[in-house]
Every structure is written in C-alpha cells, then in structure tokens.
C-alpha cells in the first residue's frame, strides 16, 4: 500500500515537471523554480520505492527523477559566470547591493539605511523602497544620484542609488499590472561605460504576466551593447524556463552560486528569487547574501564585480 501511494505521488510530480519540456503553460511556473528542491525530494522517493520493490518500473522512476534533478544542477552550472582569466591590473572593482526591503517595513528603515551606507556598494538597488525613502537626506551624502522616490518617477517601488552620475535614464513598465517597475541608466566608471538595469517582476501565478514581463525585458536588454548589470526581485529562480530564456537572449550569467533569498523561514534551503546578473566584459568575483533580512520577507544580495578600466 505504501509503495502504491509513493509511486502514485511520484508519477504525478514527474508528470507536472514533464510539462516543462512539452508546453509553455504559465500555471506551472512557480513549480519550475523549485526544480532542484523537488528533484532531490523525488529522487529520495524513487530510491525508497526501489528499495521496497526492485524492478523495471521503479528503476524507470529513479531514472526520471535523476533527469529532473540533474537538469536543474546542469542549469545552475551553465549559468555561472566564467572564471576571470585576465590581468587584474586592467580591472577595477565595483560593488553592487540589491535588496527588496518590504514596503511596509518602516520600523527598520533606519537600520537598512545604515547597512546600505556601510556596505561599500557603488550602486544599490532597492525594491519596495518606502522604508528607505524616509532617510534620503542621509543617503544623498554617499549616493548623490538616484532614480525613484521622487527622482524620475513619483513611485517608490524601485530605486537605484549611485555614486556615479546617471545618464540615459529610463523608467517604465514591463506590463500593465504594475507601474514603474523597470529602470535603466548608464554610468561611467573609470572611463568605462556600464549599463544598469533594475527590475521588479510580478509573481509567476498572475496569469502569464511574469513570462510577458521577462519577454519585454529581454527585448530591451538584448539591444544594449557592452557591459550590462541587471538586478532586482524576479519572484522566480534562475531555473524557471522564462528566466533561462532571458539569460539566453541577453547573454547574461549569474554572479556566482546564488544563495536563497526567500522565504526567510527557509534559510539556506529557500529559493533564490532575487538576482544580480551580468554580461561580459563585466566579471564576477564574489556573490553573497547579506547577513540580516532587517525585517524584510527577502534577504538581499551583495556582489563584488570586476570592470575593465577605460
């Protein structure tokens, strides 16, 4: 009886993941972000079934779960940045912070502001930035250039703080669901132009909006030449099919093995739904999760990058 229950659940789960390879149905998009977690869980279930009744059927279940888990591991490996094999004397360091601070997390706005100021970030991306907007008088001393919260848009959903002058500024929508959740600008760092892009994506269970927004994002960013930095809250892991497509069409990679950022209760076993992506010749040196969530429902990310000198 136990074998039948386990095998039935396993077949249903495998059937759900099989949709990934047969259709673009948006409804399963949330599940695909969990492919590594689910693949490992299904692998344990398949091994349990095999131990209860060795045979062709249970071996087939094991092979199918190995494929699901293995494909997830391969996608993570394939999107890692290349190891820098260049003369470091020709590169300059560049640090980036990205953090969804949670819009109603007002009581922690001062502590978050302190962390941003102490982080050493050259550019900080802040999503749901209302708590930080209460402390702009402090931030402006270190980050005199800004998009969001009254600069170039009245909304405070997405904010870019920069130590460098922002040129070619654009703020707009990725869909009709949310306003001003996409921003772009260009900065000059040591004589090298760097394109910045920030995005806050809708959740993948709102119809096909997540897929639509990523399609729009890919169309815009694929037309940009040179080093590119994209960061924000994507509400999906890099494993999701539409996220994989975004990286493919833009030529971007992750900035390292991505730590879990949500849910907070999941700790290291959560899902990395916040990302910092880059495109060559921008190189990645280190990616880490910030030490505290500061009352947010997300952890933030900080990455050290290498940018060619002009």
Instruction: Report pLDDT digits (tens) over 253-284.
Output: 999 999 999 999 999 999 999 999 999 999 99
Structure token digits, residue 150? 């009254």
DSSP letters spanning 77-103: HHTSPPPP-S-GGGEEEEEEEEEE--T
**How confident is the model at residue 26, as a pLDDT?**
66
Structure token digits, residue 185? 């600008």
Instruction: Report pLDDT digits (tens) over 205-221.
Output: 767 899 999 999 999 99
**How confident is the model at residue 94, as a pLDDT?**
98
Rounded to two decimals, the pTM is: 0.95
Structure token digits, residue 22? 């047969």
130's enclosing H/E stretch is helix 130-133
Whether 22 has a pLDDT exceeding 90, the answer reads no
For residue 237, how far is the Cα from the chain centroid? 6
DSSP letters spanning 208-274: THHHHHHHHHHHHHTT--S-EEEEEE-SS-TTSHHHHHHHHHHT-B-SSSPPP-B-GGGGGGSB--E
**Mean pLDDT in residue range 220-239:** 96
Confidence of residue 103 (pLDDT cuts 50, 70, 90): very high
Structure token digits, residue 301? 């990310």
User: From CA 80, how far away is CA 190, in angstroms rounded?
Assistant: 26
**Share of residues in the chain with pLDDT > 90 (%):** 85
Whether 182 has a pLDDT exceeding 80, the answer reads yes
Whether 196 has a pLDDT exceeding 90, the answer reads yes
**How confident is the model at residue 176, as a pLDDT?**
86
User: From CA 153, how far away is CA 160, in angstroms rounded?
Assistant: 12
**How confident is the model at residue 273, as a pLDDT?**
98
Name every residue whose Cβ is closer than 8 Å to that of residue 13 and which is 6 or more positions away in sequence.
38, 42
Instruction: Please name the residue that has the structure tokens 């994506």.
Output: 201
Instruction: Please name the residue that has the structure tokens 């494929």.
Output: 67
DSSP 8-state assignment for residue 59: H
| Bridge-based pairing state of the strands 123-127 and 145-147 | unpaired
Q: Pick the more confident residue, 29 or 55.
A: 55
- What SS3 state is found at 307? strand
**Mean pLDDT in residue range 231-254:** 97
Whether 185 has a pLDDT exceeding 90, the answer reads yes
Confidence of residue 24 (pLDDT cuts 50, 70, 90): confident
Whether 85 has a pLDDT exceeding 90, the answer reads no
Q: Which of these ranges, 69-78, 81-90, 251-260, has the smallest mean pLDDT?
A: 81-90
**How confident is the model at residue 27, as a pLDDT?**
65
CA distances in angstroms from 297 to 105, 264, 279, listed in the order given: 9, 6, 28
Confidence of residue 4 (pLDDT cuts 50, 70, 90): confident
| Bridge-based pairing state of the strands 123-127 and 91-100 | parallel
Whether 292 has a pLDDT exceeding 70, the answer reads yes
User: From CA 296, how far away is CA 191, in angstroms rounded?
Assistant: 36
User: From CA 238, how far away is CA 259, in angstroms rounded?
Assistant: 11
Domains of the chain: 2-78 (no CATH), 88-308 (3.60.10.10)
**How confident is the model at residue 301, as a pLDDT?**
99
Instruction: Report pLDDT digits (tens) over 137-180.
Output: 999 999 999 999 999 999 999 999 999 999 999 999 998 888 99
Mean per-residue pLDDT over the chain, rounded: 94
Contact 263, 212 (CB under 8 A): no
Of 284, 246, 291, the residue nearest 264 (C-alpha): 291
**Share of residues in the chain with pLDDT > 70 (%):** 99
- What SS3 state is found at 171? strand
Enumerate the β-bridge partners of residue 91.
308
Half-sphere exposure of 263 (CA within 13 A, CB side): 2
Confidence of residue 189 (pLDDT cuts 50, 70, 90): very high
Q: Which of these ranges, 5-19, 185-199, 272-286, has the smallest mean pLDDT?
A: 5-19
For residue 162, how far is the Cα from the chain centroid? 20
Whether 50 has a pLDDT exceeding 70, the answer reads yes
């Amino acid at each position: 009886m136990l074998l039948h229950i386990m095998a039935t659940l396993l077949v249903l789960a495998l059937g759900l993941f099989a949709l990934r390879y047969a259709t673009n149905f948006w409804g399963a998009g949330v599940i695909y972000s969990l492919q590594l977690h689910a693949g490992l869980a299904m692998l344990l279930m398949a091994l349990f079934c095999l131990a209860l009744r060795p045979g062709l059927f249970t071996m087939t279940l094991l092979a199918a779960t190995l494929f699901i888990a293995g494909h997830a591991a391969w996608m993570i490996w394939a999107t890692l940045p290349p190891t820098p094999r260049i003369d470091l004397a020709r590169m300059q360091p560049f640090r980036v912070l990205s953090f969804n601070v949670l819009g109603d997390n007002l009581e922690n706005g001062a502590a978050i502001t302190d962390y941003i100021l102490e982080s050493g970030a050259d550019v900080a991306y802040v999503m749901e930035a209302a708590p930080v907007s209460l402390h702009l008088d402090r931030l402006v001393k270190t980050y005199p250039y800004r998009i969001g919260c009254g600069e170039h848009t009245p909304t405070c959903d997405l904010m870019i703080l920069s130590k460098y002058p922002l040129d070619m500024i654009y703020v707009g929508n990725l869909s009709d669901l949310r306003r001003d959740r996409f921003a772009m600008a260009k900065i000059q760092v040591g004589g090298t132009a760097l394109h910045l892009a920030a995005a806050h994506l809708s959740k993948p269970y709102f119809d096909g909006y997540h897929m639509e927004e990523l399609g729009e994002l890919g169309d815009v960013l694929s037309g940009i030449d040179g080093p590119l930095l994209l960061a924000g809250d994507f509400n999906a892991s890099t494993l999701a099919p539409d996220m994989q497509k975004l990286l493919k069409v833009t030529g971007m990679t992750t900035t390292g093995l991505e730590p879990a950022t949500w849910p907070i209760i999941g700790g290291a076993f959560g899902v990395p739904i916040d990302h910092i992506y880059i495109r060559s010749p921008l190189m990645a040196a280190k990616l880490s999760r910030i030490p505290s969530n500061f009352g947010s429902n997300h952890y933030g990310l900080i990455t050290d990058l290498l940018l060619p000198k002009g």
